[in-house]
Amino acid sequence: MLSADHAGHRTPVEQSGRAGHAKPGSLTRRFARGPGTAGDGAVPGPRAVPAKTLRITRRLVREQVRSLGDRLVEWRTDRSLRFTDADRFGHELPDRKEMLRRAWHYACFNRIEGDYAEFGCHGAFTFRMAWHAMELVGTTARLWGFDSFAGLPEQVDRRDGHPRWMAGTMATSVERFHQLCARAGMTPDRYVVVEGLYHETLQSHASDPRPGLVAVAYVDCDLYSSTVDVLQFLETRLRPGSVIAFDDYFCTNPDGPSGERRAALEHFATSTWQLVPYVQFGWAGMSFVVEPRGGPEVGRPITAGP
């Protein structure tokens, strides 16, 4: 079927029977109109493009777009496989933050009564994260920070040994610690700092302030001997469902597990508590939920009646 434009010209494209494919105002249609169709007739329109040329052009454009799309996908894949500078920071702070968010969400949802206690808190990175997580879930529990603020103590036991842990490293003044807490919006009534070495501050006869029950404990004191003091201190402060997280659980020396993991393995072998794996975080961190060892519910079927 033949058709004509408004000026009465029949165009080659129309003659080829493909004019029906052109949308009003589209490039194809403008080309398809052919010469002398510029509107008022004063300026000649573009020359008609043969249908075969249009088909080839469309195919070439399609191929270019497809190849551009493929290159874009490859570029994005390459980027996603790489690490960024943020990944260089060994302890993967975002993972730690997420673990604390989960732990506090869990503690609040299950109404686990008790405070937050952190052992090894000098730079207040974790302490501030814990605070923000607690604010997020709306708990009014207190935060307790235990540290000498003088950096790692000397290694006193072979089980303290680790190539990375040097006495005196990781020190922050207690004044600086308070500044960091204030910057995070913490008010002095919400947190307590206990300054000193654990073999003094955590002893049962010590007069230092201490929490009652602990809902979430964060152990980041690296050394075996420090962790031994911490776990003895926590033994009577944990309750069923408390979370205990070890920042350096997967640390080892040529003798086998060292530091926090070694102390935890030994302590919980005879403790009244047993550890149920909870969230692993970063490459070194591991958290557990605390349950009574062989508690009354273990092995007893749950029944509806007495």
Ligand X SMILES: C[S@@+](CC[C@H](N)C(=O)[O-])C[C@H]1O[C@@H](n2cnc3c(N)ncnc32)[C@H](O)[C@@H]1O
Nearer to ligand X, 120 or 282 (CB): 120
Residue range at the interface with ligand X (CB under 6 A); choices 74-82, 133-141, 151-159, 294-302: 151-159
- The CB-of-275 to ligand X minimum distance in angstroms stands at 20
Q: Does 160 bind ligand X (CB under 6 A)?
A: no
Q: Does 170 bind ligand X (CB under 6 A)?
A: yes
Residue range at the interface with ligand X (CB under 6 A); choices 1-9, 39-47, 148-156, 270-278: 148-156
Distance from C-alpha of 162 to C-alpha of 259, rounded to nearest angstrom: 8
- The CB-of-91 to ligand X minimum distance in angstroms stands at 8
- The CB-of-290 to ligand X minimum distance in angstroms stands at 20
Assigned token pair, 80: 């996603």
Task: Output b/e per residue, 30-44; b: 16+ Cβ within 10 A.
Answer: ebbbbeebeeeeeee
The contacts of residue 126 (CB under 8 Å, 6+ apart) are 96, 100, 118, 218, 220, 247
Say if strands 252-253 and 256-257 run parallel, antiparallel, or are unpaired: antiparallel
- The CB-of-101 to ligand X minimum distance in angstroms stands at 15
Q: Where are the alpha helices (DSSP H) in 145-245?
A: 174-183, 198-201, 224-234
Distance from C-alpha of 13 to C-alpha of 262, rounded to nearest angstrom: 83
Q: Does 250 bind ligand X (CB under 6 A)?
A: no
Residue range at the interface with ligand X (CB under 6 A); choices 26-34, 47-55, 122-130, 270-278: 122-130
Going from the C-alpha of 275 to that of each of 171, 192, 212, the distances in angstroms are 31, 27, 20
- The CB-of-150 to ligand X minimum distance in angstroms stands at 6
Distance from C-alpha of 134 to C-alpha of 103, rounded to nearest angstrom: 10
Q: Which of residues 201-240 bind ligand X (CB under 6 A)?
A: 220-223, 226
Binding site for ligand X (CB under 6 A): 120-126, 147-148, 150-153, 170, 197-198, 220-223, 226
